[in-house]
Amino acid sequence: MLRTFALFLAVTALLPAMANAGDRPNIVFVLADDLGLGDVSYYARAIRNREPFVQTPNIDSLAAQGLWFTDGHSATALCAPTRYAVMSGNNNYRSYAPPGVWSTFAPSAFKEGEVTLGTVVRDAGYSTGFIGKWHLGGDFYVPGTKTIYRGPKSGDLIGKVDVTRWIGGGPKYCGFDYDFTTPCGVQGPMYLFYENQQWYPWADDSEIVFFNEDVAKNPKDVSDKGPGPGDSNWDTRQVGKILSSKAVDFIHANAEKDAPFFLYYCSPMVHLPHCPTDEFDGRPVKGSSVTPHLDMTADLDMQIKRIVDALKTTGEFENTLFVFSADNGGLQDKKAAKQIGYQPGGEWNGSKNTPLEGGHRVPTFAVWPGHIEPGVSDELVVNQDMVATFASLVGTEIPKGQAQDSNNLLPLLTGNGRFEKREYFINQAGANQELMLRRMPWKLIIQSNFKRTSFEPKSLYHLGNDPHEDRNLISNPEFKATVEQMFQEYMDIVESGRPTAPGH
């Protein structure tokens, strides 16, 4: 009897810890590159009741188990500024480089001691890993010195910058215990992998060379961004396989540990150059669609399959919050548009780099079996909301004045607690320096310049009556007061520096 009672006490003592473990799920956050709503077959079938342009069965299967957001957005309509916003929880105008940190060798926009996507999870005792595309600058030495190189990012830099070691400003600086990183994804330059800040040779005979069309195994690997330092064995066609294999390794290694893990997986697919592999784990990729661009959606889909399979094999899938998003809208593809009617934004007008909805309304969903009820939500969410959401999930407090534009989505996802919705949304487009304020049903587009010294209202759309943004009402005298009011509101928000997310 005493032994039975002692056993009861021992089991009872374990219950709080067991419950706590269930409250601290693993986190996997996937950020795809240049992926529009028109690039995911689940969106076509389940949301629009249409035949899809491409087939993404593995993304579809995952999305069907989660909550899909029809009003899900990237922080901006372009890569680098979105990546800053996602990592910091801040709108990009708060950084030293409002249009984005584009150079491989530019200073980091993250300040010492500032919370990031990595630190809010790491500080809760998680094992953290970053895998994939960075595109947020970094520190590398001038050879033979302790001077940080800040010169050009392209061209023959052999002997001008030591790219064998990543000194600072990378994933480790932002709270990631482990990283396997491509500084610029597949677009270069550089055309190199790094593992924990050290150059990761592609093969035993790899050398760091001036990677141009003369030395590349596949000349198309040298993108429109130009040649630069690269691995002599670099082959863009295999990058998705390598990155996803590293993600699988990370999951398997951390599933054996007591602490939960966080994987931030930044796939460089489906960005240029579009160099599809012949096959991926037995699935044909090259030639599977009408263009090499759309072939790359199959590559991304198989990367997701590997990650999900690893979670299931290790028994971690049921205890993992999985979030999927993209850094901006999809790409225009004239050949696919002509042959199959392809539109990167689905029914939304615009594409990557534009202020229209198709430039930043992206595939967005979250899965957590038993905690997130599968379905569809029309609530406005932004991928920079992950900082506040993950901090709330793991119990990390964000200091006042940080992650000011990140909204806690956890109550929305789980149905537990009070969710505070956004009353307005501030974001920006791309290289043409357009800025946006949305306060439903209105959306104002403001023309600025690279230095953000000029601001002029450019377009006004009523998204309720004109979701495709075909009728610009900026010159209609009936809406002059609306334009003036929204323009003044935008300027007041930015100039005051006040938070744009509720609850701050």
63 to 29, 51, 325, 372: CA distances (angstroms): 13, 17, 11, 12
Residue 256's pLDDT is 87
Encoded tokens for 307: 């990650």
- Tokens 């990140």: give the residue: 406
CB 76, CB 430: distance < 8 Å: yes
Residue 11 scores a pLDDT above 60: no
> What count of Cα atoms within 13 Å lies in the side-chain half-sphere of residue 290?
14
CB 106, CB 457: distance < 8 Å: no
Residue 6's pLDDT is 36
Residues 236-269 pLDDT 10s: 999 999 999 999 999 999 998 888 999 999 999 9
Of the listed ranges 21-25, 346-350, 419-423, the least confidently predicted one is 21-25
- Tokens 């396989």: give the residue: 241
CB 360, CB 74: distance < 8 Å: yes
Q: Could you give the CA distance from residue 25 to residue 88 in angstroms, rounded to a whole number?
A: 22
Q: Model-level pTM?
A: 0.94
Residues 414-438 pLDDT 10s: 999 999 999 999 999 999 999 999 9
**Chain length of the chain:** 504
CB 473, CB 460: distance < 8 Å: yes
Please state at what angle helix 386-394 crosses helix 79-88, rounded to 10 degrees: 30
